[in-house]
Structure formats: structure tokens, C-alpha cells
Structure 1
Amino acid sequence: MAEGRTSRDGSGAGTPAERGPDAGDRTLRALGLDGVPREEPLLYPGAWPRESGVLHGDRLLPPDRLTYEDRTPVLAIGSNASPGQLRHKMAEFGIESPLPMVRSRVTGLDVGVSAHVSRMGYVSASPVSAPGTVRELFLLWLDAEQLAVIDASEGVPMASGNFDRAWLPAPDVRVEPGDGTVLRGAYAYVNRHGVLRDGTGAPRRHPGAQRPLITDLLRGSARLRELFGTTPEEFCARARADRRLCERGTRLFAQEERVTASGLERYVGSGRTPDDALPPPTAPMP
């Protein structure tokens, strides 16, 4: 995401938090990482850490020597890179096990805009194929319980869910965790509805904040304003937890020909049902 200062109204969401902790205080609140977009939609995608760390309950600890052998690598495209959002998701199921978040250099992927309206009240981010593009993204190393929680939060197990978990292999997508290795690949959540396009027909890039995105979407569609109001605040309030309204908004994106493919659809099916096949190898390759 673009650099900038994080603010409580979401105007700088998705950027590294800039508040330093008190001496020795690694709580999310002290680090400025405690915002939860699920509770405050205009915060989406939430504040991201500056560096790699391990989320452990309410604290983000420095990286340690946790083994990743039995963990699954998942690229965080939107709010899954927000410790506050991750903590909220895990707390729903009483999970407090350590969750490594590794800041990584990713080539071949960009952050687009989901072609659906979330019942959480925001318009989320989705990965798009972007050969040659380089982004700094967080790689989550999830144990089986954590992976099940994130899968469920993205709707993977549900026929009506919005995302599929897809394995993105190298060299199509190159993931460099910063230790001199290149992963054989990583998972990412690919939107089943596609992504929103820009004026040229290509996937539009998510701006990293809800307010400018929603403002622009509303400005471009009278029908969308009829459904969701004229301001980001109205949009979020009307969309939040109103499943039918969100479905109407999602259909409207397609009806108004705002939608295009992410370019990652060909990978879908590689991670949706764990029983279909053994997971691809995750050990680093040269």
C-alpha cells in the first residue's frame, strides 16, 4: 500500500502504523494496530505493521524462530495484514496461538478491488495478476486452526462465499520473505465475482482506504447512490449486515459493466478443498 499516516477515520488505512510503542509495550493499542475494520468499516483495510512480527493474542512480538514446517503460507492482500482484524477473527474462536506475519517482496501480483459489497460494510481488496509488478505484502504462516478461521472469514467453504483460496506458484508469483529465499508459491484469496475495472478496462488498484474508494464508486453510479446513499458513511451503515442489499450492490457492479477478471482464475481449485490433494510444497527454493 502507499505510504502515509494512519488515521482513525480510515483516510490512511492500509499504511504502516507510525505510532511507536511505550518502552517494552508491544500491545496492538500501543503500536497503533488495534483498529478493527469489521467493527469500523471506514478503517478498512486497517493499519499494517512496519516490519515482520508474530501476532500473539493482543501483542505483536518481534520475529522469532517459530518453525513453519506445518504451517501454510497465505498472502495477505487486504485486512488480513491488519493485526487488529486478525486478532478479532481469531478471538471469535478462542484462538490465541502465535501467528507469524512476514513482510515480503511479491512480484507478479497487485491489489485490486473486489467486485462485491461486503456485509461488513466495506468494499474489500482482491489480488490481481500483474506480471512485473512488485509489492510489499505480508505473508501469513497459518497453522491448521488459523487457516480454517481465515478460510471461513473469506467464505471459502460456502457455496455462496466470495472467495476461493488458490495456490499461486512460482515463478508466476514470486514471493521473497527477505531471508534470501524464494518460496515455491503461496496461497491467496481470489474473488469469485472478479474485480472492478478502471477506465481502460484493466483491474483498478485499491487505493488502500475506503473513503476515497467509496466516494468515487458512488460518484460514478446513480443507481449505487439510490441503494447506499451519497456518502461513505451512509454506504457503510446501509451495507453493514444487510445481506440482500449487499447482493444487490454486487449484482449492480456486473450490470453496469464495472467488472473484469483478476487474471488469477486459472489457479482456483488448488486450495478450496484440502482433501482433493496434498498441499503443494512450501519449502523455500533457490
Structure 2
Amino acid sequence: MYERDLHRTLEALGLADAPREHPLTYPGAWPADSGLLDGNRLLPLDRLTFPDRTPLLAIGSNACPGQLRHKMAEFGITSPIPMVRTRVTGIDIGVSAHVSRMGYISASPVDAPGVTRELFVIWLDAEQLAVIDASEGVPLPHGNYTRALLPADEVRIELENGEMLPGAFAYVNRRGVLHDGTGAPRAHPGQRALITELLVGSAELRRLFGVTPEEFCARARADAELCERGTRLFAKEKLVACSGLEHLTVR
């Protein structure tokens, strides 16, 4: 590696940690700017669109280079991934209504007309897309997510140069999202705050997962059936709402 690239390593940029290994950091650190994830480096991009690849809007940890690197390394894939910063209107970040085996409660998109967020679109080749699909439990019937097309007439995705994407995909939780007590989708405040709030609100959740975020993560990572019981508990305690995106075309 050339000396000029040393400041572009994920470690130097503070982007190396993967929430899969450090669940309370979920959704992980996101880059400050667009870049090309190439192994252990985040390099400058020479363009913002890649017609031969699939655009995927990253709602949670798929915008974390350390997490992407971890997922790809599991399958021995080393090809670069373009990560493009965008302004997205019509989508907000909600809370998935399931407990992940990774030890965290992940994010899921929710319908939010008029809301604008800065999010990343990652451009994936077929091999990379298959890895990310598998990590999200796609295809059905066993996974928690579906990969749905976000149409441009409902979700506006603006690139840094002002160009609009004609559409992109996103992973929508098929179990719904958690609500905030009023029936509206709950915002994702970060893993530690979220788990703390949920444990305080449910004696049964505390019985299953302990009383601290650390206990919750450790127990979830150790027991797939416990994660399923936690997921069913969300529905049983009527904590689940629709995302508003159920009508989207599933791929």
C-alpha cells in the first residue's frame, strides 16, 4: 500500500468496526463522503452511478464499511463496492420488529412523505448482491426482510451532483416495525438507547434478555430460539406497526 493511501484505511477513518462483532455500535460508523470500498480502504469515486450494478439504499449497517467488509469476507469476496452519499425524501429509519441473531435490533425503512435524510446507496454486482440478500434473510419464506423496489415517484433519491436516481432497492422488514406508543413508527435512536427503552417497557423482555443492553446482546447472540421468542413477544405485546411500504414490488 502506498503511503498516500494509509489515511484512507478503514482504521484510520474510524470505519473499521463491524456491528456484527460489536452489536451495541449498530448501525456502525458511516463515511462522511462517497467512496469506493476496496478491501481495507475507502478510496475516492470517479463517478456516482454504475449502470451495470444494482443500487441498494442502505438504511442501517449496510452503510457501514466495516460491516460490508465483514459480510463480504465471509464469502471470500474482495471486489470493490461503490458507496454514494444521497439525499433521500420519502423514507425514514424505523426499527425492525425482530431480534437479530447478531445481538442487535436492526433498522428498517418506513414511509415518511416529506422527510429528507442523508443516506448511502451502495452499488452491488450480482455476487455482492447475493451476499447482502443472504445476510438479510432474502428470499422468503424464512427471512426477516424482502428486497423491494423504491419507485422514483414515491421516493426521491438525489445524488451529490443533483442527478435523480430512477429508483433503488431497499430491505423492508416483512414482520413490520416497532411503534412509539401512538401507533406511529418508532425512530431508531441507536442500539444502546433503543434496547434500554425496550427493556424498561417490558418485564417479559427483561426476563428473557436481562436488564442491560450488554446482557440483551449476549443472550441474543447465544440463542436463535430466544431471538424468535423476543420477536414473537413484540407482536404479542402489540408493539408492532406497518412500515407503510408493504405495497412495494418485491424482488
Q: Same fold (TM over 0.5)?
A: yes
2:76 equivalent to 1:94: yes
Kindly tell me the number of residue pairs found equivalent between the two proteins.
248
Unpaired runs of at least 5, structure 1:
1-21, 272-286
- Post-superposition offset of 1:184: 1.1
CA distance in 2, matches of 1:65, 1:170: 21
Q: 2:135 aligns with which of 147, 153, 161?
A: 153
The one of 74, 94, 97 equivalent to 1:112 is: 94
**Is 1:230 matched up with 2:211?**
yes
Q: 2:49 and 2:181 mapped to 1: Cα distance?
A: 45
Note the C-alpha offset of 1:106: 0.1
SS of the residue 1:189 aligns to: strand
Partner of 1:137: 119
> Are the aligned partners of 2:48 and 2:159 in contact in 1 as well (CA < 8 Å)?
no
CA distance in 1: counterparts of 2:68 and 2:235, whole angstroms: 30
Instruction: State the Cα distance separating 1:158 from its structure 2 match.
Output: 4.2
Residues 238-267 of structure 1: CA distance to partner in whole angstroms, max 9, x if unpaired?
001411000000000000000000000101
SS in 1 for 2:104: coil
2:63 aligned with 1:81, yes or no? yes
Secondary structure in structure 1 of the residue aligned to 2:84: strand
Paired-residue identity, %: 72
Q: Alpha-carbon deviation of 1:98?
A: 1.2
Which structure 2 residues correspond to residues 1-286 of structure 1 after superposition, within 5 A? 24-25=5-6, 26-65=8-47, 68-207=50-189, 209-269=190-250, 271=251
Residue 42 of structure 2 aligns to a residue whose secondary structure is strand
What amino acid does structure 2 have at the position aligned with 1:197?
A: H
Counterpart-to-counterpart distance in 1, 2:177 and 2:206 = 20
Does the CA contact (< 8 Å) of 2:210 and 2:216 recur in 1? Answer: yes
Measure the CA separation in 2 of the matches of 1:195 and 1:241.
24
Taking structure 1 as the reference length, what is the TM-score of the superposition? 0.85
Q: Which structure dedicates a bigger proportion of its chain to helix?
A: 2
1:177 positional shift: 1.3
Kindly indicate whether the alpha-carbon contact (under 8 Å) linking 1:120 and 1:241 is maintained by their aligned counterparts in 2.
Answer: no
1:238 to 1:268, Cα distance in 2 relative to 1, 3 A: farther
Report the TM-score when normalising by structure 2.
Answer: 0.96
SS for the counterpart of 1:214 is helix
Q: Which runs of 5+ in 2 are unaligned?
A: none
What's the CA shift string for 1:170-213, capped at 9, x where partnerless? 12000011122111111000001100000211001111x21110
Counterpart of 1:126, as a letter, is S
Q: Which amino acid aligns with 1:172?
A: E
Q: Equivalent residue of 2:247, what SS?
A: helix
Inter-partner Cα distance in structure 2 for 1:242 and 1:268: 33
In 2: Cα distance, 1:72 partner to 1:27 partner: 25
In 1, Cα distance between equivalents of 2:96 and 2:48? 33
Corresponding residue number in structure 2 for 1:278: none
CA displacement at 1:126 relative to structure 2: 0.3
CA RMSD of aligned residues (A): 1.3
CA distances 1:99-128 after superposition (whole Å, capped 9, x unpaired): 000000000000000000000000000000
